Amino acid sequence: MIRAAVLGPSGRMGRRVIELVAARSDMQVAAAIDHPTSPLIGKSVGGARVAGELAALAGCDAHIDFTTPEATEAAASGSRSNEAKMSSTAPPSSVSSTARTSAHGTGSARS
């Protein structure tokens, strides 16, 4: 079972990813992370409680990121220490080379 973290669950695409992951038999939404002031904090989405801190990434096998470039950089740093695979929707030119290297070094689906 692949334990996926969805970053940006309050957006249209984040919600859709949660629906798609939750519908699969080989994956589960293990974490959903949004900005700390999100009205979703503490609520359950796709079987996971929404958190406002990147610590919720611990134990996840993959991170699916639908956030801002700044949040992507922070998540990439977290994925380096967590050794999870990360997929980001941020345009490569908008994310620092450190975050791109981190994401690619951990198996990013994005080139």
Which CATH number covers residue 28?
3.40.50.720
Model confidence at 111, in pLDDT bands (50, 70, 90)? very low
- What is the value of pTM for the model shown? 0.69
Per-residue pLDDT at 79: 54
Determine the distance from the C-alpha atom of residue 95 to the mean position of all C-alpha atoms in its chain, rounded to a whole number.
15
Model confidence at 101, in pLDDT bands (50, 70, 90)? very low
Residue 111 lies in a domain: no
Residue 110 lies in a domain: no
**Structural domain range at position 95:** 2-105
Count of domains observed in the chain? 1
- Mean pLDDT score of the chain: 77
- C-alpha Rg value of the chain to the nearest Å: 13
Most trustworthy range by pLDDT among 61-65, 98-102, 104-108: 61-65
Residue 23 lies in a domain: yes
Can you tell me the distance from the alpha carbon of 69 to that of 61, in angstroms, rounded to the nearest whole number?
A: 21
What is the per-residue pLDDT across 61-95, written as a single tens digit (0 to 9) for each? 988 988 888 888 877 775 555 454 555 554 444 43
Residue 77 lies in a domain: yes
Residue 47 lies in a domain: yes
**Contact in structure between 102 and 80 (CB atoms under 8 Å):** yes
